Structure 1
């Protein structure tokens, strides 16, 4: 079976060690994480934290990982999405060379939106959002154009 890219959205208790325990599930099974992001939604409770975990695995290995995460005491629920799922959106905060802005404005299609956040010197911070595959493709093009200075990317399930 071929490996695919996946994203888990994990609802968990917001307590010390929850993120470490989740990461250990992957490490103990020989799966490298592409990204992991943890956040609490309501700072007044410990009931509503989220972890977003991206990785590559076969469908069978994905199920093993999901079941192992669900057994953790801090985990409330795990939702699994193929990386290209229609209800996932990527969000990328990028630093670009200013010379790339005209190219970006001409290249961006309807499946990716962008907003200029700030300009400092010869670099501009741009927020990109859209379908995961479309944003990733645009980032690849920016890298090929040697216009991408830095990027932080995550996703959200709608």
Structure 2
């Protein structure tokens, strides 16, 4: 005899449909976990290294071009290019380049905050008008100015390391 006679025939007692084999039960939770891991990684494992980019030979001394390197396990994952003039007390951010993987982790905000703390008393402004950096600069309350305005100690020099568009 088969065991079919003991099973209910009503639709009220049927088992729930099986989930597709590739779907996760809490799929959104995994995305939040990844984002949280990336944010923790950005705050724990990223080192900030400041480098001075030497000027052209024979160029008048003035504000130097500098670069803040964001390093994760011997790999550069971001760069902040800036000029600093201590005589004027001004700093100009000329380039922000951070890997796409770290853009939503809070690393750009942390890097600009690091510049503020590394150079206290400096008034910051930016020459960047790209969409990706506009919101970051607005959040950090850094005003945007045109690229041709420089401090009185040297004319504005374009950043030779940044691509021109």
TM-score range, shorter chain: under 0.3
More strand, by proportion: 1
Higher relative CO (Cα under 8 Å, sequence separation at least 6) belongs to 1
TM-score normalised to the size of structure 1? 0.28
Q: Which of 1 and 2 has greater Rg?
A: 2
TM-score normalised to the size of structure 2? 0.27
